[in-house]
Amino acid sequence: MMKNLSIFNIKGGVAKTTSTANFGACLSQNGKKVLLVDLDPQSNLTKLFKAYSMEDLSIADVLLNKNLDLHNVIKKTDFENIDILPANVNLAFAERKILLDVSRSQQNRLSKALESIKDEYDYCLIDCPPALNMITVNALCASDDVLVPIKIDKFALDGLEYLLDSIEEIKDEFNPSLNFKGCFITMDSATTVNKVIKQELKNILGDKVFNTTIKQNVKVIESTFEECPVVFSSKKARASLNYIELSNEIF
């Protein structure tokens, strides 16, 4: 049965999309069948896998139409074992439409949609928007686990308590099986400030901080221009090895 994981942080620029793509790549290399779900209106995950279209059905249609067959929305990617539920700009308007539609449950729409394909994939990785809105609530209600990427900077710990409280609130109100799996550090560099903040993070979260960090690496940026996860485009790059190691630690 498919395991659903959300990659979530209320901050942007912490490598949510990059991490979602590369976790999917690592799992696919291990023979796992992976479905990626792009819930960010910016649609960067969709664009990375060359699946963006304004004409085709998208995740917005899934959230708004309960009778939609998911198989008509899912797209194959260029990579074996990786499919994607694509996003486009219509997702930016979907939340308002969901909130205005009181005829059915608002927070469980993604969960119900994914039920129909739960035996077709090993993992579903959900790339959340950098906000706690109804789109994100749908992601968390559909998830077994939540992973939180953190970029170490001056503001790294700001909002962390709110984020964790929000996850706990979703668990209490809507999804009792939701599990905060842990945080992982992205764009890591060997500076004194980084070491101090990493230690502070571990003091707060204990074993909920994964040991493997994703080091800063220009190959990650280059891979986006190649429209390919760095794990595939630069297999020996430091970031690729980091993602493989982190994926083994998480999954």
What percentage of the chain has pLDDT greater than the value 90? Answer: 82
The whole-number average pLDDT for the span 155-174 is 90
Q: Tell me which residue of 49, 95, 107 sits closest to 74, measured CA to CA.
A: 49
Question: pLDDT for 62-101, tens place per residue?
Answer: 999 999 999 999 999 999 999 999 999 999 999 999 999 9
Sign of CA dihedral 16, 140, 147, 249: negative
Domain residue extents for the chain? 3-250
Q: How far is CA 173 from CA 8, 143, 177, 195, 200, in A?
A: 18, 14, 11, 36, 30
Average pLDDT over residues 169-191: 94
Q: Is 205 exposed, middle or buried (0-12, 13-18, 19+ CB in 10 A)?
A: middle
C-alpha–C-alpha distance, residues 177 and 231, integer Å: 31
Q: Tens digits of per-residue pLDDT, 12-21?
A: 889 999 999 9
3-250 fold: Rossmann fold (3.40.50)
- pLDDT at position 10: 92
Mean pLDDT of all residues in 210-231: 90
Q: What is the CA radius of gyration of the chain?
A: 17
Confidence at 155, pLDDT banded by 50, 70, 90: confident
Residue 230 parent element (H or E): helix 230-233
User: Minimal CA–CA distance to 31: which of 125, 147, 121, 144?
Assistant: 121
